[in-house]
Structure formats: C-alpha cells, structure tokens
Amino acid sequence: MMAKRISKRRKIIDKLVSSLALLSVIIAIIPLAGVLIFVASRGLSAINLDFFISLPKPPDEIGGGIGNAIQGTLILIGLASMIGIPIGVLSGIYLAEYGDNRFGSLVRFMADVLSGVPSIIMGLFAYIVIVLTTRSFSAISGGIALGIMMIPVITRTTEESVKLVPNSIREASMALGIRRWKTIVFIVLSTAKSGIITGIMLSIARIAGETAPLLFTAFGSDLWATGLNQPISALPLVIYKYAISPYANWQAQAWGAAFILVSMVLILNIGVRFIARGRYRK
C-alpha cells in the first residue's frame, strides 16, 4: 500500500518535470516567433523597390530608402572577411596540424575566451587604435572591428574540420612523396572545405548584425560610400537610428531594414545547416 502511494507520487513528479521542461522550450520559442512575425509583417509593408536602391530622406519627407546601408553592410562584411578569414583559417590550421602542445592549448583557449568578449569592447579597441590615430571615422576601422570578431569563430571551426580529415588521407599523400605543407594546402584543406566554409558563413552571420562596434568606427552616413577612409552606413546602424527616432516614418523604415537584415542572417544560418547536413550524411 505504502509502496504504491510512493510510486504514484514519483510518477506524478516525473510527469510534472517532463511537462515543465517542454514548457521551457515553448517559452523560449515565443520571443523568437514574436520577433520573426513582427519583423516580417511590419517590415514587408515598409519595403518596395525604392527602399532598396535610394538614399535616406529627412523624416518629414515621404519615401527614401536604405540603399546605402545595404551597400555599406556588404562593404564592411567584405573588409572584415579580408582580415578574419586568412587569420582565422591559418591559425586554425596551426591548431589542428601542429597545435598538440601547451602553446596550442593556450591559443585554443584564448580563441574561445575572445569569442565571449563583448562586441562593444572590440569596437572601442578599433576606435582607440584607428579612429583616434587617423582622426576620422572610417569604413576601414569598422571592417577591422568586425574582422577581429570573426577570428575566433573561424579559428575554431577550421581547426575542428581539419581535424576531422582522416589521417589515412594525409599518409596516402605523403607516401606519394608530396610535402607536408602541400599535403595540407591542397589535400587536407580541400577535404575540409565545406566545414571551413560553414565556419566562415556562421561568422559572417554573427557580425552582419553587430551594431555596437560600428557606432565608434563606421559611424554611419546618409550618402553612398565614397571611400574606405570615410564614414559608412550599415543596416544595424540605420535600424538603431530610426528605431529611437520620434518619427513614425523612420520607425516604419527601421522595421523594413530589420526585415532585410534578419533575412540575410537567417539565410546564412539555414544555409550552414544544409551544408553541414550534407557533410554528415556522407
């Protein structure tokens, strides 16, 4: 009798905990769904062709677009990639191929730790090193701040995908008399390619929406980009500026810009998932 009651209580607790766990998942998905629904519904109504290709207008005029912000974001991503990809990939190769020692562990650890440093600190760093010395906000400084943020992600994903390449492939190549560095560059890297590309796409998705580091560096602009040493606009900067403005016209455009930005980031994330799935199926 006693045993039966206890076991009933245990079963109820078991059920209760299971449903609480499921409830947490649902609670977490509500804001995600909320953000996506609002961005889609309010964003789509602000978007037309003009929105993509024209320059911003003052708040009292109807129309205007964020063409220069889209251009600026693409330029900044390009600049950041020029810094982040080579450093990230090469340091990742070092960790995978030669990093089985204390120094390697230290670099690996530091890369993990750096990926947790707030983005505003990276912006402040680029501001001190570049903006204060050149005395001008610039696309370059924004690209550097974002590029630094790409490094840890690319380093670690490159390392992991290079490590996944079976040793037999390396041995086969070296048995044919191919030098180790050529083996790494032409054979190991091409085998690990999809993993490395995944890491690069993820890091781009991560920096595309960064705002805080750009405040100090790219600064924003209402014109088309004219040079890399000039301030430049970017989608997140426009969203911030328009969202906190008191003008309904600008606020509507903030949702439109958010729609474009979120679509970009989601496409990158979903793309990564498909590449990764293809790789594991093999």
b (16+ CB within 10 A) / e for 127-149? beebbeeeeebbbbbbbbbbbbb
Query: How near is the Cβ of 3 to another protein at its closest, in Å?
Result: 11
CB atoms within 10 A of CB 214: 31
Residue 51 binds another protein, judged by CB under 8 A: no
From the list 7-15, 46-54, 59-67, 220-228, the region that binds another protein by CB under 8 A is 7-15
List of residues 6+ apart from 8 with CB closer than 8 A: none
In the block, which residue shows the tokens 């191919």?
178
From the list 60-68, 69-77, 138-146, 150-158, the region that binds another protein by CB under 8 A is 150-158
Residue 24 binds another protein, judged by CB under 8 A: yes
Residue 275 binds another protein, judged by CB under 8 A: no
Residue 34 binds another protein, judged by CB under 8 A: yes
From the list 44-52, 73-81, 222-230, 251-259, the region that binds another protein by CB under 8 A is 251-259
Residue 121 binds another protein, judged by CB under 8 A: yes
From the list 48-56, 59-67, 99-107, 222-230, the region that binds another protein by CB under 8 A is 99-107
Query: How near is the Cβ of 89 to another protein at its closest, in Å?
Result: 8
Tokens representing 14? 């078991």
Residue 155 binds another protein, judged by CB under 8 A: yes
Query: How near is the Cβ of 26 to another protein at its closest, in Å?
Result: 10
